[in-house]
Each structure stands twice: as structure tokens, then as C-alpha cells.
Amino acid sequence: MSGAASSLRMALPASRSLQLRSRVLIGLGVTLFILVVLAAGIGAVSIAPLDVVKLLTSPPGSAAWQSIPQEHMQQAMVLWNIRLPRLALGILTGAALAVSGAAMQALLRNPLAEPGLVGVSGGAALFAALAIVLGGVWMAALHDVIGEFALPIFAFIGSLIATILIFVISTRQGRTSIALMLLAGIAISSLCGALIGLMTFIASDLQMRSLNFWSLGSLGAATWPMVAMVACLSGSSVLILLKQSSALNTLALGEVQASLLGVSVRRLNQVCIGAIALAVGAVVSVTGIIGFIGLVAPHLVRLAIGPDQRLVMPASALVGAILVLLSDLLARTIAVPTEVPVGIITALLGVPFFLALLFRMRRKIGV
């Protein structure tokens, strides 16, 4: 280092990237909040944005709730019992899928890894479906003991198996083959799809309805206990993944350099695979398969602010939440009075995006 003048010049990039970091996160946070307020007001019972904010400050059971005038009571009930749990579930879903996607991409050193695409969500959906159809009295008993957590446990096992399979098939000696990963993903997704289809033949009418939405994805069933469960499982997994962001950065240099930089690569892999499986499993157990969020959100963020995982992961969480809320808003408003499954909207959005990415990466994949 030479002198005060040059050290002043050196300090510039530091302040710039710190500023960028806080600006991006604050901007996305504000956008998400505005979207929540608007989306909460849109629907069969419409609520003006200002009223939404007012009602948000008076939760059921509080003193403020008692003082809500009679003509606003219906709005309050709709907001707190239907719209808010759905929005909360949407935020959690978007954040969990996007952060899981970003983490998978860093682990596999490849921007096409996505929980839905490579069968992680499929595995979760399959095991949840197995539990619903074949679980019978066992499932009912389990539900009595651990309530909302019964189904996610099975979904977690399914997504864990799928994630481990993907890693085992597509990586060799610390190198990942994009083509192998995508092919393995096709195989796992097809198998899960076929087995879920098989389940629908065995299923009763009631089971059938819940099975149908696994394959298409929907936030329509949101309830507060569900939200609490997802917040618990996916939320904590997302926090664990965010804590690994600096270590995940070093993987960009390869596994050898990462370990020479003091990262225990084996442990990092295990922690991340477990957290991804839990985050995705818990979400899929209540929403079904909502695809492409884990691909689109991190990619948009990287395009805008570069690949530093420490910024990509939290920003992806917010972008993922925004994308899911927007898709869900579209899903429940374009075909009133019926609802389009949100998974269809995200796929319509995500597939062209994915194809564009494939097109750009053609040479790398070896076509």
C-alpha cells in the first residue's frame, strides 16, 4: 500500500458495494410491502390500500379489532382469515424456493439448477402424495400428534432423496455436468409424476382433489397454522442457507480452493442439501409444485447486481416472494370466479426464461 491518497482511492469500491447492498435490499423490501398492501385489497371483496394498512394494525383479538366499524367487519375478516395467510404463504414460498435455487446453483456451480426442474419438488410432492393416499389411519394418528408437521416430514424425505440423487448423479470428483444434472432431473421428475399419477387411480375423490393440486401448485389452501409450520421449517432453513452465503461464494473457485480457503466443503454440502430439502419439502407439502421461481429469481438478481452470494441470496428471497405474489395475484384474478393454479402461471413465466438461458449456454452444455 502506498500512501494516504491511494488508500483513499482503494476505499471506494468498498463503500460502493455496501451502498449497493443496502439500497437493493431496501428497494426490494419496499416493493414487496407495497405489493402486499395492493394484493391484500384485490379480490371479490375489494379493500382500499389505506384501509388495508389501517386493518393491518388491528389484528383479531386486539382492542383495535373491537373498534372496527360494522361496515368494515367483512373486509377485516376477509383480510385476516383469507388474504393475509395466503400472502404470508406466498412470501415464504417465494423466499424458500428462490434461496434454495440460489444455493443449489452455487453448490453445483451451474445456473440451471432449480428445485422444480431437477426433481427436488417432485420428490417432495411424491412422498406427500404417498402419505395422503397410502397413509390411512397411520397418517391420521400422526396428524393427531404433530398436527401440520405430519405431511412436511414425508415431503422432506422425498426432497432429500431427490436432492442426494441429483448430486450423486451429476457430480464426479468435484465437477458437475450440466447435461447430466438436467437429464437426471428429467428422470426423477418423470418418475415422480408417473407415481403421483398412479396414486390418483388408487385415491378416493377427496384425496384426488388434494393430489391434483400437487402437480399444478396453489396457494389457495393457506391457513394460519400452515403458515406457522412453513415459517418454522422453511424459514429456519432459509436462515441456515443465508448463513452459508460467504462459504458458497468460495465454491466458485472450485472445491479444492474452497477447502484451501478454510471451508469444510463436505460439511457445507451436507448442511445445504439438508436445508434445501427441508425448505422445499415444507413448502411443497402445502402448495404443491410451483416451478421456476428458484431459477428466475436468482438469475434476475445476478443480472442486476452480480453473483456475490451474500447479496444474491437475500435479494433472491425478496424477488422470489415478489414473483410468487404477482403470479398468485394473476392466478386468482384472470379467470374470476375460478382460480388458475399458480404453478401454471410461474411455468408460463419461467419456461421461456429457461429456454433463453439454455440458448445462451448452448456451447457450454456441449451441443
Q: What is the end-to-end Cα distance of the chain in Å, rounded?
A: 47
DSSP code at position 247: H
Residue 171 found at the interface with other proteins (CB under 8 A): no
Residue 14 found at the interface with other proteins (CB under 8 A): yes
Size of the site for other proteins (CB under 8 A): 33
Rounded to a whole number of angstroms, the minimum distance from the CB of residue 175 to other proteins is 9
On whether the CB atoms of residues 203 and 136 are closer than 8 A, the answer is: no
Q: Where are the alpha helices (DSSP H) in the chain?
A: 3-41, 49-56, 63-66, 70-78, 84-108, 120-146, 150-170, 178-202, 205-216, 224-243, 245-250, 255-260, 265-287, 293-305, 309-333, 342-360, 362-365
Rounded to a whole number of angstroms, the minimum distance from the CB of residue 296 to other proteins is 16
Coil, strand or helix at 288: coil
Rounded to a whole number of angstroms, the minimum distance from the CB of residue 139 to other proteins is 42
Residue 10 found at the interface with other proteins (CB under 8 A): yes
Would you call the peptide bond into 337 cis, given omega within 30 degrees of 0 as the criterion? yes
**Which residues from 98-157 bind other proteins, rule CB under 8 A?**
109-111
Pick from 306, 335, 355, 360 the residue near other proteins by CB under 8 A. 306
If one counts every other C-beta atom within 10 angstroms of the C-beta of residue 313, the result is: 27
**Which residues from 249-278 bind other proteins, rule CB under 8 A?**
249-250, 252-254, 256-257, 259-264
Coil, strand or helix at 67: coil
17's grid cell: 458495494
Q: Considering the complex, state which of residue 299 and residue 332 has its C-beta at the smaller distance from other proteins.
A: 299
Rounded to a whole number of angstroms, the minimum distance from the CB of residue 209 to other proteins is 42
Q: Considering the complex, state which of residue 134 and residue 252 has its C-beta at the smaller distance from other proteins.
A: 252
Residue 170 found at the interface with other proteins (CB under 8 A): no
Q: Interface with other proteins by CB under 8 A: which residues?
A: 1-2, 6-7, 9-11, 13-14, 17, 109-111, 246-247, 249-250, 252-254, 256-257, 259-264, 302, 306-308, 310
